Amino acid sequence: MRCLKTFIQFLKYYPKHFSTQTRLQDAGPMTCLLKTRSVIRFKGPDTIKFLQGLVTNDVRRLGDLEPASENSATPNIPAVTVPPLYAALLTPQGRFLYDFFLYRPPRPDEKLNRAGTGPGPKPGELEIYADVDWSVLDEVLMTLKKYRLRSKVDIENMAEEFSCWQRFGGKTAEKSSYPEELDTNSVGWGGTVDPSGVSASRGDNSGWHWEKDPRLDCLGDRSIFPSNTTPPLVEADEETVEENFILWRLEKGVAEGPTEIPKGEAVPLEYNLAGLNAISFDKGCYVGQELIARTHHRGVIRKRLIPLRFLDDCGQEMEQQVAPGSEVNDMTSGKKVGTVTSALGSRGLGLLRLEEAFKGTGTLTIKGREDIRVESIRPEWWPAEWFLDHQVSEAA
User: What integer pLDDT is reported at residue 73 of this predicted model?
Assistant: 39
Closest to 89 in 3D by CA, of 150, 152, 155: 155
Beta strands in 299-354 (DSSP E): 303-311, 327-330, 336-344, 347-353
User: What integer pLDDT is reported at residue 12 of this predicted model?
Assistant: 41
* Alpha carbon distance 131, 41 (integer Å): 9
Closest to 217 in 3D by CA, of 269, 167, 274, 270: 167
* Alpha carbon distance 272, 341 (integer Å): 14
E strand or H helix at 293, and its extent? helix 289-298
* Alpha carbon distance 278, 241 (integer Å): 26
* Alpha carbon distance 243, 384 (integer Å): 30
* Alpha carbon distance 176, 173 (integer Å): 10
pTM above 0.95, yes or no: no
User: What integer pLDDT is reported at residue 9 of this predicted model?
Assistant: 42
Kindly report the backbone phi and psi dihedral angles of residue 311, in degrees, each rounded to the nearest multiple of 5, phi listed first: -130, 160
pLDDT digits over 38-97, tens only? 999 999 999 999 999 999 999 999 976 554 444 443 434 444 568 899 999 999 999 999
* Alpha carbon distance 92, 88 (integer Å): 13
Are 236 and 3 within 8 A, CB to CB? no
Q: Using 50 as the pLDDT threshold, list the residues of the chain that sit under it.
A: 1-22, 67-79, 123, 175-201, 390-391
* Alpha carbon distance 179, 201 (integer Å): 8
Task: Count the helix, strand and coil residues of the chain and give each as a percent rounded to the nearest 5.
Answer: 25, 25, 50
